[in-house]
Chain A
Amino acid sequence: DTGVSQDPRHKITKRGQNVTFRCDPISEHNRLYWYRQTLGQGPEFLTYFQNEAQLEKSRLLSDRFSAERPKGSFSTLEIQRTEQGDSAMYLCASSFPEPGWGEKLFFGSGTQLSVL
């Protein structure tokens, strides 16, 4: 399977605990995005990498959230001191934009986080 993969698929944690999610993008894609989606809403942009550089972060991303893409391949998203409001589906997407072809994102299946 050469699609975007995310691990774990589901995570249940207690408030105050730290959690880490992993995303493996499509191998030739140089851009990687993290989004958050809550029930009944569209995905909300969190952050974006071009290769290993984190180029943009949403103001939604509090200082409890940190993302890395150390070698420009897989990425991790860590949430420290989780709160109930962090409960959501965390989606990873990757792309390889080509001039004149826009930015078609390929999404992974997501990690569903539940904070109790």
Chain B
Amino acid sequence: ELKVEQNPLFLSMQEGKNYTIYCNYSTTSDRLYWYRQDPGKSLESLFVLLSNGAVKQEGRLMASLDTKARLSTLHITAAVHDLSATYFCAADSGGGADGLTFGKGTHLIIQP
């Protein structure tokens, strides 16, 4: 059974600082996804990582995937208040069956 663990689950940080969210998964999965969820809203896709060593960046967010370590990271550079949200990583077992398995999410608060 595929399991996905994120840490930390809660993070409060100041604007301008850098931080990293970690996502570990338990079994072989070559595809890793990051989503953002604002309070009361649905999930918005941020990144799709499809191979070992994949790195994607958009604005102040950068995601990477190490399939050998079964680890993905989401790095936040010079955080701004607008990035406050809950961030989920998800992995899939391939082929659409069982859908995506999500972590519990990292609730990120960025304070001025």
A-side interface residues toward B, CB under 8 Å?
A: 31, 33, 35, 40-45, 48, 50, 55-56, 58, 91, 93, 97, 100-110
Q: Is the CB of B104 within 8 A of A58?
A: no
A3 to B43, CA, bound (A): 12
Complex contacts, A48 vs chain B, CB 8 Å: 96-99
Q: Is the beta-carbon distance between B104 and A40 smaller than 8 angstroms?
A: yes
Most buried by B among A43, A100, A106, A108: A43
Residues of A within 8 A of B92 (CB): 102-103
- CB of B68 within 8 A of chain A? no
Q: Given A48-B99, A50-B96, A104-B33, 13 other A-B contacts at CB below 8 A?
A: A33-B99, A35-B99, A41-B104, A42-B4, A45-B100, A91-B43, A97-B96, A103-B96, A104-B45, A104-B48, A105-B33, A105-B43, A107-B42
Q: How large is the interface on B (under 10, 10 to 19, 20 to 34, 35 or more residues)?
A: 20 to 34
Q: Which are the 10 A-B pairs with shortest beta-carbon distances?
A: A42-B102, A45-B99, A107-B42, A107-B43, A102-B48, A102-B31, A109-B42, A56-B97, A102-B50, A43-B102
The one of A50, A55, A108 that contacts B42, using a Cβ cutoff of 8 Å: A108
In the bound complex, residues from chain A placing their C-beta under 8 Å from that of B44 are 107
Q: Are A101 and B50 in contact (CB under 8 A)?
A: yes
Q: Which residues of A contact B33 (CB under 8 A)?
A: 102-105
- Choose among B4, B31, B50, B99 the residue that contacts A56 (Cβ–Cβ < 8 A): B99
Is the CB–CB distance between A110 and B42 below 8 Å? yes
0/1 interface trace, chain B 92-112, chain A, CB 8 Å (1 if under): 100011111111110000000
